[in-house]
């Protein structure tokens, strides 16, 4: 993992008051399915152990929402990663994942799952970088076909990455 002291933003766990800011970032990210404000409030409060925000000058500029998989006790499911478009290409998504993995591994969550559309090249690159940095495997499979997601939505593929060790070279 890179030296975090060189970053010009901070990463921390979410709190209730982050819900609206997280929603507004998700709203700016066309690759994300926008959920209700209530949903983001729940994520920021009830799933705060694995939901993180990146902030610069007290402004939230990115987030990751994740939770332990309810059926696989060794798996963390990453629901969404969003970065304010004004802050793209600054390593925020990478830094969020770098902060997420160590506490997950300490809790026994050694696999990460996420869903991703075939056309989301930025997220594919991010998770590819994660896989390489931790020298682990990534398996892709069909998960939600477009027919279940509604008109205009692509298939969602499931990525299963791991097993993770605490340290990677992100």
pLDDT in tens, 25-55: 999 999 999 999 999 999 999 999 999 999 9
Helix 121-133, helix 92-106: angle, nearest 10: 50
Give the integer Cα–Cα distance in Å for 63 and 55. 9
> What percentage of the chain reaches a pLDDT higher than 70?
93
Q: What CATH number should be reported for the domain holding residue 114?
A: 3.40.630.30
Looking at residue 1, its pLDDT comes to 39
Q: What confidence score (pLDDT) does residue 25 get?
A: 98
Residue 51 neighbours by CB under 8 Å, 6+ apart: 13, 14, 43, 44, 63, 64, 65, 66, 67
Is residue 6's pLDDT more than 90?
no
> Is 168 within the bounds of a domain?
no
pLDDT band at 170 (very low <50, low <70, confident <90, very high): low
What b/e readout covers 17-48, taking b as 16+ CB neighbours within 10 angstroms?
A: ebbebbbebbeebeebeebeeebbbbbbeebb
Total count of domains within the chain:
1
Please tell me the predicted confidence (pLDDT) of residue 165: 82
Looking up tokens 């729940």, which residue turns up?
42
Give the single-character DSSP code of 122: H
Residue 167 lies in a domain: no
Domain membership of residue 170 (yes or no) is: no
> Quick one: pLDDT at residue 3?
41
Q: pLDDT by residue (tens digit) across 47-77?
A: 999 999 999 999 999 999 999 999 999 999 9
Q: What is the pLDDT of residue 152?
A: 87
Its domain, for residue 117, covers: 4-162
Say how far apart CA 10 and CA 91 lie, in whole Å.
12
Domain assignment of residue 169, yes or no: no
- Asked if residue 74 belongs to a domain, the reply is yes
**Cα distances (Å, whole numbers) of residue 143 to 33, 35, 158:** 16, 19, 5
- What pLDDT does 167 receive? 64
Q: Determine the Cα–Cα distance for residues 79 and 42; give it in Å rounded to an integer.
A: 13
Alpha-carbon distance 127 to 130, whole Å? 5
Residue 91, domain member (yes or no): yes
pLDDT band, very low/low/confident/very high, at 8 (cuts 50, 70, 90): confident
91-100 tens-digit pLDDT: 999 999 999 9
Report the sign of the C-alpha dihedral through residues 92, 98, 104, 109, in that order: positive
């Amino acid at each position: 993992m890179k030296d975090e002291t060189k970053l010009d933003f901070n990463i921390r766990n979410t709190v209730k008051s982050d819900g609206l800011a997280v929603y507004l970032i998700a709203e700016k990210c066309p690759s994300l399915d926008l959920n209700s404000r209530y949903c983001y409030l729940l994520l920021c409060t009830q799933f705060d152990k694995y939901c993180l925000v990146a902030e610069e000058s007290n402004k939230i500029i990115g987030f990751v929402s994740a939770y332990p998989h309810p059926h696989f006790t060794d798996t963390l499911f990453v629901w969404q990663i969003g970065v304010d478009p004004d802050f793209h290409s600054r390593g925020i998504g990478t830094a969020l994942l770098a902060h997420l993995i160590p506490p997950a591994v300490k809790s026994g969550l050694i696999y990460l799952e996420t869903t991703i559309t075939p056309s989301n090249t930025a997220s594919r690159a991010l998770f590819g970088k994660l896989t390489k940095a931790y020298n682990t495997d990534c398996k892709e499979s069909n998960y939600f076909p477009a027919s279940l997601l509604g008109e205009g939505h692509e298939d969602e593929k499931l990525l299963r990455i791991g097993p993770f060790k605490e340290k990677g070279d992100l």
